[in-house]
Structures are given as structure tokens and as C-alpha cells.
Structure 1
Amino acid sequence: MSARAGMPEIDGFIFDMDGTLLHTLPDLAAVTNKALELEGFPPHTEEQIRTFVGNGALALARLAVPDGATEEQVEKVFRNFKNLYSEFGLSLTSEFEGMTETLKELHTRGKKLGIMSNKFEGGVKDVEAKFFPGLFDVSHGETDTIPRKPDPDGLLLCAREMGLEPARCAYFGDSHTDLIAAHNAGMLAVGATWGYQSLETLKTGSPDVLIDAPVDILQFA
């Protein structure tokens, strides 16, 4: 889909990570199931886990444990997940076709690049360093001071650190939560249809624009 006629020039390109920049689902599924196994809980299929992702590791753990699990058990699975992800969570991850080339072209055109994910910040930094070294100007995930999307604080922090007004930024994500966060931050909300959420659900976030491949990002530059 084409960029909106008459929209402001976009100088800041901020991206969700899981399902937008990278195909992380195989690792998320493997690590989640290992975290569950350590607590004696049964595993899930990759397709089931796909429906759990997008709201951070704690939310994933809460959805993955069996009905009736205690909050203490949820916390144990969450801690297992974080520990395992830091050690093993990148072995099955791959970038979506054309993503690195697109990011490099944006960089060449003088655009600022950022990441804002609901993944815990340590995981964001590890993944960025492996797959996109030197390409991003700022990157953040969930911390004690950065709440999960759709809260706009993380996106607004990215804009400030890039020295840009939110209206000159676009946020690219594969979930309705990403799009709501973009609207809350006053940014262009661009839905990535190649990610983990169905098109029907993605549209509930009221995208300004929908795009179907990473190369389509360049139309905003």
C-alpha cells in the first residue's frame, strides 16, 4: 500500500522487534517450552505460542502456564525464560527477507533508526548486536522505567534520543498493540502484515498504512 498523500516527511523509523524486524518465533517457542518443562508444565505448539507473543515475557509466561497455576509459578517460568533466552534464544532466529538491506538504505538516506520492543531490554540489546550491529541509533525494551506498549513512553523516549518530534517519526509493528502505541505517541502507525498477528486483528489498531514486505518501508523515506 502506498504512503499517505500529504503526510509529513519521516525522519525517524522506529521498529518493533519480534515479528517485524525478525522472525523470532522458533526461538520464543523453544525457550518457552524449556522454561515450562523446568517447572513440570506441558509444552505448546509453535502456533499456540505465536498467539501468546507481543506483550512481553511475563505476559507470555502467564498465558503459557496451565490454568490454575499460581503467580509464584508464573514468576518462575518468567525467570526461566529470561535466563534461557539470554543463553540460547538466538539460535533459530532469522531476519525477514530484505530487512538488513532496507535498514542500510534508510541509514544511507540519513534517517534515524530505533527499536522499541515489549521484549525485556537485555534481550533487545543482545538481538540487535547479533543481527543489526551499528545500524540503530537507539533501542529499548521493557524495563522498570519503560512500560510495555501500548503505553507511548518508550516510543517518546526513542524520539527524544533521536532528537526528533514524534510527528516526524513512524512506528512499524505487526500487532494492534504496536499501532495503538504509535497513535498514543503521535507517530505514523504502520502495520507490517508479514508478522505474527492476523490481518483482521492488526486492523483493529487502526493503521495509517499497511505494508506487505520490508522493502515497502522505503516508500516513507
Structure 2
Amino acid sequence: MAAEKPTPPFDTFVFDVDGTLLDTLDDLVVLTNDALAEFNLLPRTREEINSYVGNGVKALMYQAVPEGTPQDVADACLARWKENYGTYPNDLTKPYPGIPALLAELRRRGCKLGVLSNKFDGGVQFIMNKCLPDAVDVQHGEGGPQNFPRKPDPTGLLATIEELGSTPARTVYIGDSPGDIHVARNAGCYAVGVDWGYHDPADFAAEGWEPDLLVSDPEQILALAPEA
């Protein structure tokens, strides 16, 4: 018998980062092409890099290097990307319109707020602290102290929910990719897709992971929270 689908209102909201809370693409283009250039590899277009985003920096760099690139060179590009990230200012990254107001209102309504991303954990801590400082209660990426696997493995999401003192039935997971809907389903959460990120909303149905709710404005998410 299938598990009963969670229903509103919810008091716990966990978000993806890239393409959901933050528009990071312009900085990802610079970082990726800088790493490629250091190994005399041709740059990728913004559109190409956009298509690589969503499964972590390892997947991004392994797709960005030209086909046939030796593994040791691909690994060196990845290492250089991460090394550069530590000193790169990420000044092109900004919250999407309406996101700061959404997080503030959810917090005002007493909701628990978290982040779980496929970005490596150090990158999540850096970019959230820079662009949305103290906006959420818990923030995690791939790896980190708890060695969380990438989504759609639900381990990281379930641990984040537990850390927030909540349960999957009380939780909404919000993201811009089919993988985000997949991890929400795997964890037993309510799944919200956003249409302002890096993935075409048609991808949800095409890949078999349709959200419980698709939103085009962050304010629409407030309908899932307790009344003000």
C-alpha cells in the first residue's frame, strides 16, 4: 500500500540552492571556464554549463572537459575548480527576486528552514553565508562532516529534517530539477518545483518526476505554510 502523501500546512521547508534560492550561473560559467583555460581546454558556453548544473561540481566538470580528456586531467580540472572557489568572490551570484522575503516570512510564521544541495558542502556554506546569511537554520551540501551522498539519495535530506527537529510528513522540499523532486519522493516529503531555475519545467514530466506543486513566484510557497 502506497504511503499517504503529506498535505499542508507544513512547518518545515528545505531548499535546493543553485537555481532555486540563488542564481549562481554567471559565476559558475567564470569558474568553469577559468579551470578549463588553466589546462588549455576550450571554454564552454553559458548554455552548455547551464545544462551541466544540478548534480554537483564533479558532474559539472566531467561534462565540461572535452570528450576523450584523460581522467587525470579531468580530475585536475575539478581540483582546480574547487581550489579557485575558495578565493573567487562570487560577486555575480544573487538571490532570486522574492527569495529573501519568502524566507523571512516563513521564519516569521515559525517555520523551520533548511538547505540541502548537491554543491559540495564547503561551497554551500560559503555562498549561503555570503548571499543569504542566517536566512536558514541548517545548511548542507554533498560530502561535508557527515559525508552526505548526492541527491536523489535521501540520506542528507532525512538527516537535515531530523536536525531541524521535524519529520518528512511535515516537510516541503523545493527545487528546480527532476532530481529535487526525486529526492523529495525518496524521503517522503511534499515536493515543490520552481520554474525560474536552470531546468525547463517540462523536464519534470519528461523525466517522470512531477512535483506536487509547480510555482512561478516564491510567494506561492507561502500557501503551504501555517497562516500568518
Q: Could you state the TM-score of these two structures normalised by the residue count of structure 2?
A: 0.92
Between the aligned partners of 1:89 and 1:175, the Cα distance in structure 2 is: 26
The amino acid of 1:42's aligned partner reads L
1:211 aligns with 215
2:195 aligns with 193
Q: Which runs of 5+ in 2 are unaligned?
A: none
Between the aligned partners of 2:89 and 2:203, the Cα distance in structure 1 is: 27
Q: Is the 8 A contact 1:8 1:167 kept in 2?
A: no
Does residue 161 in structure 1 map to residue 157 in structure 2?
Answer: no
Does residue 51 in structure 1 map to residue 57 in structure 2?
Answer: no
Deviation by residue 1:116-156 (Cα, 9 ceiling, x = unmatched)? 00000000001111111122110100006200001111100
State the Cα distance separating 1:8 from its structure 2 match: 3.7
Q: Which runs of 5+ in 1 are unaligned?
A: none
State the Cα distance separating 1:89 from its structure 2 match: 5.0
2:185 aligns with 183
Deviation by residue 1:72-121 (Cα, 9 ceiling, x = unmatched)? 11111111111112211511101100110110000100000000000000
State the Cα distance separating 1:202 from its structure 2 match: 2.5
Distance 1:31 1:91, change over 3 A: same
Between the aligned partners of 2:89 and 2:169, the Cα distance in structure 1 is: 34
Between the aligned partners of 1:189 and 1:79, the Cα distance in structure 2 is: 33
Quote the RMSD (CA, aligned, Å).
Answer: 1.4
The amino acid of 1:192's aligned partner reads V
2:24 aligns with 24
Moved over 2 A (4+): none
State the Cα distance separating 1:214 from its structure 2 match: 1.2
State the Cα distance separating 1:9 from its structure 2 match: 2.4
1:85 aligns with 85
Q: Is the 8 A contact 2:113 2:137 kept in 1?
A: yes
Does residue 140 in structure 1 map to residue 134 in structure 2?
Answer: no
Q: Could you state the TM-score of these two structures normalised by the residue count of structure 1?
A: 0.95
Between the aligned partners of 2:201 and 2:175, the Cα distance in structure 1 is: 12
SS at structure 2 position matched to 1:172: strand
2:105 aligns with 105
SS at structure 2 position matched to 1:88: coil
SS at structure 2 position matched to 1:163: coil
